[in-house]
Structure 1
Amino acid sequence: MPRPVPRRCSPPWPWPVCRPIGFSLPAFRRRNRANWRAFCAELAPLPATLVLFEGVSRLDRTLAALAEALGPRDAAVCRELTKLHEEIRKGSLDDLARHYAEAGPPKGEVVLVIGPPPPPVAPADDDLDERLQALLDAGESVNGAARRLAQETGLGRRVLYQRALALGGDSTS
């Protein structure tokens, strides 16, 4: 089992356990409700592992709010890193929120590591063709339709552009 490496700074040391691909460290934030909602809205689209410091007294509420705002993401609650009573609990944000709501707040320092959002599920080929055709019929250019659908689906714009041309789109429009 991978273990954190003892050092002075906690954010990098869960990495062997969580395997991030890029990360963001929005560790400190204001706690009023409006700022919290704005903070969560800013985090939701980030395609990176997130690292947050949290007080143990509000851990269950924070996990529940993050689960609501960020959706089904994997996470780890890393407690007392590099110390004798080190604990790393992994699961979905919902599962972790339920666990800490039932078990009560842990003791010590806590670092939350939240995985990136799951990759978008690519639609079926027939559905792609229908959506491209609908955009083209609505007057969208081939390039515009491909770009828009690429943003929505996460697929490559060039692939979608070629599909739109094959559907009979005019590349000059």
Structure 2
Amino acid sequence: MDDAMAMREVAMTGRAESRQGRLLVVGTPIGNLGDLSPRAAEAFRRADAICCEDTRVTSKLLAHLGVERPLIRCDENVIASRAPGLVERMVDGDVLAYASDAGMPGISDPGQVLVESARAEGVPVEVVPGPVACATALVASGIPCEHFFFEGFLPRKAGERERRLRQLATVPGALLFYESPHRVVATLESIAKVFPTREAALCRELTKLHEEVVRCSAPALHEEMAAREQIKGEIVIVVAPPSEEESATCGADAAWDAAAADAIDPDAAIRADIKAALEAGEPASAIAKRLSQRYSRRRREVYALVLELQQ
């Protein structure tokens, strides 16, 4: 072997050894492509492949940037099963990016599973911040936001939804909810029932051409939306904090004492789903598999909840 060839092999070996895999968590626009940061665009260019909720949505974003990369579907139905293989690729040196359909990954988003799996194996995680729909809606609503609580999606069944809203009544701050267009009227009805004296805002199509923010009393907001023939777009609902009178009625303390903190049960929604599945006769292992994907939780944690509720 001549000296030139040996030097080339040494150089290639050095590059291979210095290559370090990582996960790039990339925030993307919630509507307006002008909100994509230069750093986010560069992260997509650096990646060997891009994991995403919907390949069709992310491919349009990459086409806008003129970037071509392999896309890997990682929605809530498959990300738990694919995470180990993806982490293995990063351990071997691949740089993978993850993007939600819109907004900041990991917030009411299955990307949390991939972040947790990467960190568990010591893979570096680099977060590229981007727009967040709930924060954008809170500011746009004009509702006082010194303190706020992000709930995400409320339970689908009316009884469970109203029970959860009553639990949240003691929170001394604004409440933020995500909702889909076809369920928003039912959700607003529950909010109006539980919080009849509070103001609320519906924020729709944020940063897009047809952006809309409607703010009024919770009952009036429900009436206005119920009167519409069709509601489209991504929706965030903001509910004002409790008044002093309401706080006194609820027995809430402005310092948010331990009793109020206990009422905010992060497992309330998943427990309700587990109970419904058990009543329907679904096997424990199947429940754990399905709900771990839906709630971006470890399967063994969900399985432990299932066994607890079975007893």
Fold match, TM over 0.5? yes
Q: Cα offset for 1:67?
A: 0.9
For the residues of structure 2 that align with 1:73 and 1:51, how far apart are their CA atoms?
14
Q: Cα offset for 1:89?
A: 0.6
Give the alignment partner of residue 232 of structure 2, picking from 87, 103, 107: 107
Is the CA contact (8 Å cut-off) linking 1:120 and 1:154 kept in structure 2? no
Corresponding position: 1:45 with 2:154 = no
CA separation of 1:8/1:154 partners in 2, compared to 1, >3 Å: closer, same or farther? closer
CA separation of 1:153/1:24 partners in 2, compared to 1, >3 Å: closer, same or farther? closer
For the residues of structure 2 that align with 1:153 and 1:35, how far apart are their CA atoms?
22
Is the CA contact (8 Å cut-off) linking 2:162 and 2:191 kept in structure 1? no
Q: Secondary structure at the match of 2:136?
A: coil
Partner of 1:36: 161
Partner of 1:12: 135
Q: How many aligned residue pairs are there?
A: 122
For the residues of structure 2 that align with 1:153 and 1:31, how far apart are their CA atoms?
27
Give the alignment partner of residue 181 of structure 2, picking from 43, 52, 56: 56
CA separation of 1:57/1:153 partners in 2, compared to 1, >3 Å: closer, same or farther? closer
Q: Secondary structure at the match of 2:215?
A: strand
The unaligned stretches of length 5 or more in structure 2 are: 1-34, 36-129, 255-311
Partner of 2:218: 93
Q: Which has the higher contact order (CA 8 A, sep 6+)?
A: 1
Amino acid at match of 2:131: R
CA separation of 1:105/1:93 partners in 2, compared to 1, >3 Å: closer, same or farther? farther
TM-score (norm 2): 0.36
Partner of 1:171: none
Q: Cα offset for 1:59?
A: 1.4
Give 1:112-151 correspondences, 5 Å limit: 112-120=237-245
Partner of 2:122: none
TM-score (norm 1): 0.62
Corresponding position: 1:71 with 2:183 = no
For the residues of structure 2 that align with 1:92 and 1:152, how far apart are their CA atoms?
23
The unaligned stretches of length 5 or more in structure 1 are: 1-5, 122-148, 156-173
Q: Cα offset for 1:115?
A: 0.5
Q: Cα offset for 1:152?
A: 5.6
As a proportion of its length, which structure holds more helix?
2
Q: Deviations over 1:106-135 (max 9, x none)?
A: 2111100111112218xxxxxxxxxxxxxx
Q: Cα offset for 1:26?
A: 0.6
Q: Cα offset for 1:15?
A: 3.3
Q: Cα offset for 1:34?
A: 4.0
| RMSD of aligned alpha carbons | 2.5
Corresponding position: 1:82 with 2:215 = no
Q: Secondary structure at the match of 2:213?
A: strand
